[in-house]
Amino acid sequence: MGIHKVWVTLPDGAEIQAGELAFGRPMPDGTCRSAFRYSPEWLKKGFPLDPVSLPLSTGEFHASHLGPPLAAFDDALPDAWGRHLIDSEKQIPISKRLPERYLVEVGRGGLGAIGFGGPVKRNFEEARMHSMAELMDAARDVEKGVAAPDSAGLHKLFAVGASAGGARPKALVAHEGRHWIAKFPAYQDGPLNVPALEFASMVTAKKAGLDCPDVQLHSIGGRSVLFIERFDLTEKGRVHHLSFKSLCKERGGLLVGSYADLMAVVAKHSMRPEADTHALYRQAVFNMAIGNTDDHLKNFMMQGGPKGYCLAPAFDLVPDIARNLEHQLSVGGLRYPEKTAIAEFGARWCRDRELAEKVMQEVSVAVSGFKGELAATGVDMEAHARIYSDIDARLGVLAQRAASIPSSEASRLFDRAAEAAAAADGRARLAGGRELDR
Ligand SMILES: Nc1ncnc2c1ncn2[C@@H]1O[C@H](COP(=O)(O)OP(=O)(O)OP(=O)(O)O)[C@@H](O)[C@H]1O
Ligand SMILES: [Mg+2]
């Protein structure tokens, strides 16, 4: 029901009003119209805030809520975790939980280069190492739904955690003169040490040749916390980024799709299409090998500026902690690793069959070191046996000689190996999601 200024902070620190974003009254069905137009200044000096949906033009762009073509602005808002935190701190009733409300709360303190509101910049706040334990306690209360609205812990967590994206508990933190996202253990993780698993996975990804941010694993009062260095900040300013949920606008905001959908966007809109299609292929192979089944469209981003867009570094690389078995994004129509389909996909997008095979081999060698990386974190390895057995099964499928293995046979092999791994702790689950009682 208002008009909001949209600001962009450039990498050199300059701040320019890029346009205006307007929201209509919520309709009886709960939907709400939104509209955007670029400012004359941005039309002269700026770049498209979404190369697919928001070309530089004088016209207005209309959407429902902040769906396509305005999803670039939704990317600048918090996801489930930050919204839950805002709801808890500000006691927002369900009927008022609309994008406009979160936009007002986040103002100019969100991730990425886009900010909203008046000319006064409210800097995002960052936690320090000494407050981690208190923030983790508060995060657990928020997750459990028992955080008292007036508690000091909730206020502190709100200040440093509300702008972050994603669903898992987290906060922004300054440490050793660098800026990080701190990812906490979640209440529902059970015996799994998810920060340690994500740390081992990110270290493995670097060894597999992926471009990933620096990570640190800290133990605070016996609880692990993962620090991931932010790639949306420069020394003086910010880097604009947007997710593939926005970029794949023809998917209408759905998070599932295929790696080919991402490739088509990268091939068309990246300023370095060859390097980025190769990098995305490597990441797809890595995800299939390590079991990063949570590979939805918000877990991939492009970064942009006046010179154009390129693939952002890889993040949120976690083995299959939720036992999904199937991936959100398919390769060759399949949502689990299958060597022939992956090789065909690589050959098509890298235009080089040998290179596609070589990448698969390099990634497999690196991922075979995952168990060692996890052991080096000091976690109880037995509690994580299901995870590395699953990875072994995946590596087994990728090691089959492509020509010697028909695809249907490969998928059966994978099902059998994955079932055997899951059976280790009493339950088995098939690729279709059916659970077997044992
Ligand atoms: N290193 C980084 N630098 C800048 N932004 C980042 C970085 N890592 C993640 N992000 C942003 O923060 C969001 C949340 O991060 P992440 O995906 O790791 O969290 P999550 O809670 O595990 O997500 P999910 O809901 O997919 O489980 C991402 O979608 C991305 O927009
Ligand atoms: Mg994520």
The residue whose CB lies within 8 Å of the most ligand 1 atoms, and thus the one to mutate among 143, 181, 329, is 181
- Residue 235 belongs to some domain of the structure: no
Same domain, 282 and 141: no
In ligand 1, which atom is closest to the CA atom of 231? Answer: 3
Q: Is the pLDDT of residue 113 over 90?
A: yes
Mean pLDDT of 75-87: 93
**pLDDT class for 252, splitting at 50, 70, 90?**
low
The last residue of a domain, from among 84, 116, 148: 116
Same domain, 108 and 180: no
Same domain, 14 and 147: no
- Residue 306 belongs to some domain of the structure: yes
Residue 246 in contact with ligand 1 by CB distance below 6 A: no
Instruction: Decide: 161 and 135 in contact? Cβ < 8 Å.
Output: yes
- Residue 124 belongs to some domain of the structure: no
Mean pLDDT of 17-38: 92
Same domain, 223 and 252: no
pLDDT value, residue 26: 86
Q: Is the pLDDT of residue 420 over 70?
A: no
Q: Distance from the CA of 422 to the center of ligand 1, in angstroms? A: 28
- Residue 121 belongs to some domain of the structure: no
- Residue 340 belongs to some domain of the structure: yes
Residue 165 in contact with ligand 1 by CB distance below 6 A: yes
Mean pLDDT of 265-273: 97
Ligand nearest to the CA of residue 301, numbered in listed order: 1
Tell me which residue has its CA closest to atom 4 in ligand 1: 230
83-111 residue pLDDT tens? 999 999 999 999 889 999 999 999 988 89
Q: Is the pLDDT of residue 346 over 50?
A: yes
Same domain, 303 and 414: yes
**CA atoms of 319 and 309, how far apart (whole Å):** 29
The residue whose CB lies within 8 Å of the most ligand 1 atoms, and thus the one to mutate among 81, 85, 111, 327, is 111
60-70 residue pLDDT tens? 999 998 999 99
- Residue 267 belongs to some domain of the structure: yes
The last residue of a domain, from among 204, 229, 254: 229
Same domain, 16 and 66: yes
Residue 181 in contact with ligand 1 by CB distance below 6 A: yes
Which residue has better confidence, 340 or 407? 340
pLDDT value, residue 164: 83
Same domain, 161 and 265: no
The last residue of a domain, from among 201, 229, 257: 229
Q: Distance from the CA of 269 to the center of ligand 2, in angstroms? A: 23
- Residue 6 belongs to some domain of the structure: yes
226-229 long-range contacts, CB within 8 A, separation 24+: 226/182, 226/183, 226/195, 226/196, 226/198, 226/199, 227/173, 227/175, 227/180, 227/181, 227/182, 227/183, 228/180, 228/181, 228/183, 228/202, 228/315, 229/178, 229/179, 229/180
Instruction: Decide: 356 and 347 in contact? Cβ < 8 Å.
Output: yes
Residue 83 in contact with ligand 1 by CB distance below 6 A: no
Residue 231 in contact with ligand 1 by CB distance below 6 A: yes
Q: Distance from the CA of 201 to the center of ligand 1, in angstroms? A: 15
Ligand nearest to the CA of residue 161, numbered in listed order: 1
- Residue 109 belongs to some domain of the structure: yes
Residue 315 in contact with ligand 1 by CB distance below 6 A: yes
Q: Distance from the CA of 163 to the center of ligand 1, in angstroms? A: 11
Residue 139 in contact with ligand 1 by CB distance below 6 A: no
SS3 for the chain is CCEEEEEEECCCCCEEEEEEEEECCCCCCCCCEEEEEECHHHHHHCCCCECCCECCCCCCEEEECCCCCCHHHHHCCCCHHHHHHHHHHHCCCHHHCCHHHHHHHHCCCCCCCEEECCCCCCCCCCECHHHHHHHHHHHHHHHHCCCCCCCHHHHHHHHHHCCCCCCCCEEEEEECCEEEEEECCCHHHCCCCHHHHHHHHHHHHHHCCCCCCCEEEEEECCEEEEEEECCCECCCCECEEEEHHHHCHHHCCCCCEEHHHHHHHHHHHECCHHHHHHHHHHHHHHHHHHCCCCCCHHHCEEEEECCEEEECCCCCCCCCCCCCCCCCEEECCECCCCHHHHHHHHHHHHCCHHHHHHHHHHHHHHHCCHHHHHHHCCCCCHHHHHHHHHHHHHHHHHHCCHHHCCHHHHHHHHHHHHHHHHHCCCCEECCCCCEECC
Same domain, 342 and 388: yes
Instruction: Decide: 329 and 258 in contact? Cβ < 8 Å.
Output: yes
pLDDT value, residue 109: 87
Residue 259 in contact with ligand 1 by CB distance below 6 A: no
Q: Distance from the CA of 167 to the center of ligand 2, in angstroms? A: 7
Q: Distance from the CA of 427 to the center of ligand 2, in angstroms? A: 27
Same domain, 297 and 157: no
Ligand nearest to the CA of residue 181, numbered in listed order: 1
**Closest to 376 (Cα-Cα) out of 204, 131, 209, 124:** 204
**CA atoms of 152 and 148, how far apart (whole Å):** 9
Q: Is the pLDDT of residue 27 over 80?
A: yes
In ligand 1, which atom is closest to the CA atom of 230? Answer: 3
Q: Distance from the CA of 164 to the center of ligand 1, in angstroms? A: 7
Ligand nearest to the CA of residue 81, numbered in listed order: 1
Residue 162 structure tokens: 């509300």
Same domain, 161 and 280: no
Give the structural domain span for 53: 2-116
Same domain, 66 and 200: no
Residue 87 in contact with ligand 1 by CB distance below 6 A: no
- The CATH number of the domain holding residue 213 is 3.30.200.120
Q: Distance from the CA of 301 to the center of ligand 1, in angstroms? A: 10
Residue 349 structure tokens: 């997008």
**Amino acid (1-letter code) at residue 281:** Y
**pLDDT class for 150, splitting at 50, 70, 90?**
confident
Residue 166 in contact with ligand 1 by CB distance below 6 A: yes
Q: Is the pLDDT of residue 11 over 60?
A: yes
Residue 168 in contact with ligand 1 by CB distance below 6 A: yes
**pLDDT class for 413, splitting at 50, 70, 90?**
very low
For the chain, what is the domain count? 3
Same domain, 347 and 427: yes
Q: Distance from the CA of 166 to the center of ligand 2, in angstroms? A: 5
